[in-house]
């Protein structure tokens, strides 16, 4: 038996092949939107409305719309990223992190969910976890010419985190 709960959690994590099987099974099931006959155009309109609410800083209303989208289309990563972003702004960081984790499961090669998760970790004062998230984002975006701005922002955040972690360790 592992000596501490951290070791136990690490050793009890499901293997990657099992997660892949679960995600494949989930993706093969029709979404509630499909079952209810909601069209892609209607869903895109809801997403746009949620994004506009977010841009207008109506974060609670945006969260409500993104939550609805996640209910009807749980396999779409951008819905979870939108929900996580709205949760960040209403200071529900645990919910934001759960939303970003779902987005990462659905779209494991998208660095954005990890980059945004780093910001929630910072707000929760978990700088080491924020550094893990942003480092993961950098790994994913490093060679993507379409995401150079995200790469620059992630590098700047990583450098700031490394500096702050060093400062914090010197205070102890």
73 contacts 43 by C-beta, under 8 angstroms: yes
pLDDT of residue 130: 97
Q: What is the CATH number of domain 1-108?
A: 1.25.40.10
DSSP string covering 55-120: HTT-HHHHHHHHHHHHHH-TT-HHHHHHHHHHHHHTT-HHHHHHHHHHHHHH-TT-SHHHHHHHHH
Residue 122 binned pLDDT confidence (cut-offs 50, 70, 90): very high
Domain boundaries, the chain: 1-108, 123-172
Instruction: Encode pLDDT of 96-110 as tens digits.
Output: 999 999 999 899 899
The Cα angle at residue 127 between residues 155 and 117, in degrees rounded to 5 = 65
pTM recorded for the entire structure:
0.81
Q: What is the CA radius of gyration of the chain?
A: 18
Instruction: Encode pLDDT of 54-91 as tens digits.
Output: 999 999 999 999 999 999 899 899 999 999 999 999 99
């Amino acid at each position: 038996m592992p000596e501490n709960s951290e070791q136990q959690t690490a050793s009890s994590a499901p293997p990657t092949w099992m997660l892949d099987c679960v995600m494949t099974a989930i993706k093969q099931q029709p979404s509630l939107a499909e079952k209810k006959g909601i069209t892609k155009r209607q869903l895109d309109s809801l997403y746009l409305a949620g994004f506009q609410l977010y841009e207008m800083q109506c974060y609670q209303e945006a969260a409500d719309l993104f939550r609805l989208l996640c209910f009807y289309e749980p396999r779409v990563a951008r819905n979870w990223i939108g929900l996580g972003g709205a949760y960040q702004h209403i200071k529900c960081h645990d919910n934001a992190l759960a939303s970003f984790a779902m987005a990462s499961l659905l779209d494991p090669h998208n660095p954005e969910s990890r980059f945004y998760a780093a910001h929630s970790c910072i707000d929760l004062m978990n700088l080491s976890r924020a550094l893990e998230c942003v480092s993961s984002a950098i790994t994913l975006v490093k060679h993507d010419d379409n995401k150079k701005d995200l790469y620059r922002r992630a590098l700047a955040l990583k450098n700031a985190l490394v500096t702050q972690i060093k400062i914090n360790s010197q205070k102890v």
